[in-house]
Structures are given as C-alpha cells and as structure tokens.
C-alpha cells in the first residue's frame, strides 16, 4: 500500500520523490520549531509565538501597532491575538491603548519592560536559529530556501482560494 490510501482513483498521488520530500519537510520543520520553542521557553519563559509578537511590536514605529495589523504581521487570528495580548499585558510587556482615529480600534504598545525582555531573549534565540538552520546549510542552500519559501508564500497569497476563513486574516 502506498503512503496515502487510494480510494478514488481520480486523485493525483504524490510521487515517491514528492512523498519523501513532504515527510522530510514536515520533520525538518518540527525539529527546527521544537528546538527554537524549547530554547525560548527555557531561557525566557516565552511561549511559542509570543516572541514574534514582541518582535513585530519592537520594529513598528513607536513600538505600537493596531491589533489587526499585528495579527496580520504575526499570522495570528484576531481571537488568538486578543488572548495572547491579554497574557502579555498581565506580564506588563504590552499595554493596550485606545485608538484616537477609530474608536473601535485598540493599539498594542510594547512597554519598556517588554522591550527589555525581548532584548534579553534575542541573543539566545538567534543562536538557536543558527544552530538549527543557518549553520547547517550551505550559503547556496540558504538562498534556495529563501526562494522556495517566497514561492510558497506567493502561491498561498492569491490563488482564488478561500482566503476568507471566518475569523482569520
């Protein structure tokens, strides 16, 4: 039997090569993310994607972003972001402010404390990214990976598919 059970006959199955690649890709991603998540959790008590949120805020003008923009930047759903920011607010790493020009709006603002936490977490994180990814690949491969990633993102961005999943985006 093949990797994927065959039922309809009309499906275009994956070739051996594609199958192999898909599995390797899955495993590689898991290994990279497991390592970086573990490192962040260990060294900064930062749960998974929260670091990304802080990074995006730290780069925004004034270290502040509207919730929706922040969600888009972090590829978080609005709901997920709302919960996440609530936790970050409990730790005083982020503060919510009302938006002046749109009274529905909320602005997430990175606090000094939050910035300090991020600054403390960054070196270890970068180090882990090196160990898990960059130092493991040749410069050519890094370039290839960039191009491959860009192609994937581009394909996902448009393709007349349902981009309108209820809450997300």
Partner DNA sequence: AGAGGTTGGTTGAATAATCAACGAGTATCA
Partner DNA sequence: TGATACTCGTTGATTATTCAACCAACCTCT
Tokens 């780069």 map to which residue?
59
Alpha helices in 11-111 (DSSP H): 16-44, 50-59, 67-74, 78-90
Q: Half-sphere exposure of 103 toward its Cβ, with a 13 Å CA cutoff?
A: 0
Please tell me the count of residues contacting a second copy according to CB under 8 A.
73
Partners of 107 in beta bridges: 66, 97
Task: Provide, rounded to whole angstroms, the least separation between the CB of residue 24 and a second copy.
Answer: 4
Of the ranges 3-11, 104-112, 119-127, 154-162, which one interacts with DNA (CB under 7 A)? Answer: 104-112
Q: Per CB under 7 A, does 166 bind DNA?
A: yes
Q: Pattern of binders to DNA over 24-63, x per CB under 7 A? A: -----------------x-----xxxx-------------
**Of the ranges 30-38, 82-90, 92-100, 104-112, which one interacts with a second copy (CB under 8 A)?**
30-38
Q: Using CB under 7 A as the criterion, which residues of the chain lie in contact with DNA when the complex forms? A: 41, 47-50, 66-69, 71, 76-87, 96, 99, 102-107, 166-167
């Amino acid at each position: 039997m093949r990797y994927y059970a065959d039922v309809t006959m009309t499906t275009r199955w994956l070739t051996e090569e594609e199958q192999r690649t898909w599995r390797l890709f899955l495993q590689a991603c898991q290994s990279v993310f497991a390592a970086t998540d573990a490192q962040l959790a260990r060294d900064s008590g930062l749960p998974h994607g929260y670091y990304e949120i802080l990074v995006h805020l730290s780069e925004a003008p004034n270290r502040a972003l509207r919730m929706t923009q922040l969600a888009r930047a972090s590829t978080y759903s609005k709901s997920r972001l709302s919960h996440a920011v609530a936790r970050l607010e409990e730790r005083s790493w982020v503060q919510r402010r009302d938006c002046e020009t749109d009274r529905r709006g909320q602005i997430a603002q990175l606090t000094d404390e939050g910035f300090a936490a991020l600054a403390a977490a960054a070196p270890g994180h970068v180090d882990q990214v090196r160990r898990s990814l960059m130092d493991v690949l040749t410069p050519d491969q890094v370039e290839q990976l960039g191009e491959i990633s860009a192609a994937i993102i581009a394909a996902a961005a448009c393709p007349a598919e349902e981009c309108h999943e209820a809450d997300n985006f």
